[in-house]
Structure 1
Amino acid sequence: MTSLSNGITREKILSINDSLRINNLHKRELNFKFVIIGDFGVGKTSIIGRYTEGQFSTSYKITIGADFALKTLEWDEDTRVNLHLWDIAGHERFGSLTGVFYRHAVAAAIVFDLTRPETYSSVEKWLIDLRRKVHLPGGLPIPVVILANKGDVTVTTLPSQIEDFCKANNILSWFITSAKNNLNIDEAMIRLTNAAIQNHHNLQFPLITDDIISLTDASENNEKMKKCC
């Protein structure tokens, strides 16, 4: 039996690794598609790069049409979540293709640029386009967060009405983010993932209130019949 410097034997490490491998084989895997949308140059590609690769670069190329990256989360001991993050081009010439790019999406982040306040004006346009083209099973609204990006440069341009806009439009939450400083990106994606998992659970196990009512009515009818007889 070989003992390593910290006192853990090689056999023990192999045993732990085997246990992890076996447990992972039995994990439930969920695959979710998230779309990251907003005007060109607001930092969508940088946000995805930071979240999936832990890196930031100032030399990203303009996204043509759409691109995507994968992030795997060991959500809990029973569940693994694979997030497919789609980077949707913000140029107007790709607007007619958004319906194709949105297909099968279960959550979305709308990004605007705090250094270009005019990009906030497009948030509502993107939201309308998204909700017009994406319909979740069961009529559930697609979960959305808003990301006020490049918060490392300025926050003085943050729109004062953003809180009211989110409440009026059923937005899950909004975050000041920075791909450069890795600010609030994990938090925003966790918020979306929680919502996607909850929707998945609701669709798998819907509340059957009609049956509950029927059972109650049936019980009351039985009591009436007993009294009548």
Structure 2
Amino acid sequence: MRAANKMKEHLLKILIIGDGNVGKSSFVHRYVHGQFNRTYKMTVGVDFSVKMLHWSDKEKVRVQLWDLAGQERFISMTRIYYKGAVGCVVMFDVTDSSSFLTCRLWKQDLDNKAMLPNGGSIPCILLANKSDLPEWAVPADRIEAFCKANGFFTWMATSVKDNKNIDEAMRSLVEEVLSIQSSLDPLPPKTEDGVHPEQEPQLGNSAEKSCC
């Protein structure tokens, strides 16, 4: 019997950042467990979750989700949590303009403390959460302009309650991360024992529409 090809597994550390009470923990719970809970306790420091994606017939992606506390007093600890991250979700509550305005501070903090091997910023998606609510405090064209001006590769309106764009947003981010990793090191050099380090996959699906 022909031996089955071994699945290649990629491990991606993804940060979930933004102000408190914008829905980060509920977003992670919906994405990982497919459930929506109306009540959550405040995150202290960081919560950690994992989801395995069967990316293709030959590849799996293990996504490590680091849900960081949004309270100001935890900002001093972000450098520790950012270490090793390859992608990021910055989230705000679309009905709360103040949580939108502080996204610039979160993105600046991220860019100062986490970067790609070539010194560039790690790929980051901006999520306008609670989009099921009618009273948007931030119009879409303003979010689009902010996205372009602050180095996000795209943005999406999400609703954890309605399960809107949860999987789509994460798939878009994972695609962007893998694409960038592949372009940074398309042909890894041989090690001293002649073994090639793992190469990142070539993506078969086109990425979601970019804002930039």
TM-score w.r.t. the length of structure 2 is: 0.83
Map of 1:116 onto structure 2:
96
Letter in 2 for 1:135: M
Q: Which of these residues, 177, 183, 198, is aligned with residue 164 of structure 2?
A: 183
Contact preservation (8 Å) 1:63, 1:89:
yes
Structure 1 contact 166–174 (Cα < 8 Å) conserved = yes
- Whose Rg is larger? 1
Instruction: In structure 2, list runs of 5 or more residues that go unmatched.
Output: 189-212
Name the CA distance, whole Å, in 2 between partners of 1:164 and 1:153. 22
Matches within 5 A, 1:155-170: 156-159=136-139, 160-170=141-151
Counterpart contact for 1:114–1:154, Cα < 8 Å: no
What residue in structure 2 maps to residue 33 of structure 1? 13
Matched, 1:55 2:35: yes
CA distance in 2, matches of 1:181, 1:145: 20
The one of 173, 180, 195 aligned to 2:154: 173
Deviates more, 1:96-105 or 1:165-174: 165-174
Amino acid at match of 1:84: Q
After superposition, where does 1:60-79 map in structure 2 within 5 Å? 60-79=40-59
Which residue pairs with 1:139 in the alignment?
A: 119
Residue number in structure 2 paired with 1:220: none
User: What per-residue deviation string (whole Å, max 9, x for no partner) do you get for residues 46-67 of structure 1?
Assistant: 0000000000101211101001
Is 1:88 the equivalent of 2:68?
A: yes
SS in 2 for 1:35: strand
8 A Cα contact 2:158 2:164, kept in partner:
yes
Distance 1:133 1:49, change over 3 A: same
CA distance in structure 1 between the partners assigned to 2:171 and 2:111 by the alignment: 21
CA deviations on 1:81-110 (whole Å, 9 max, x unpaired) are 000011000011111000111110001010
Q: Give 1:205 shift.
A: 1.3
Q: CA RMSD in A?
A: 1.9
Instruction: List gaps (5 residues or longer) in structure 1.
Output: 1-14, 208-229
- Residue of structure 1 in register with 2:206 after alignment: none
For the Cα contact (< 8 Å) 2:86–2:177, is it kept in 1? yes
Shift of 1:69: 0.6
Report which stretch shifted further, 136-145 or 117-126.
136-145
Q: Distance in 1 between matches of 2:94 and 2:145?
A: 18
Please, which moves more after superposition, 145-154 or 39-48?
145-154
**TM-score of the superposed pair, with normalisation by structure 1:** 0.77
Amino acid at match of 1:72: M
8 Å CA contact 2:104–2:150 kept in 1: the answer is no
1:164 is displaced (CA, Å) by: 1.3
Amino acid at match of 1:174: W
Do the aligned residues in 1 keep the contact of 2:131 with 2:157 (CA within 8 Å)?
yes
Are positions 1:97 and 2:86 aligned together? no
| Fraction of identical pairs, as percent | 41
Structure-1 separation of matches of 2:11 and 2:167? 18
Aligned length: 187
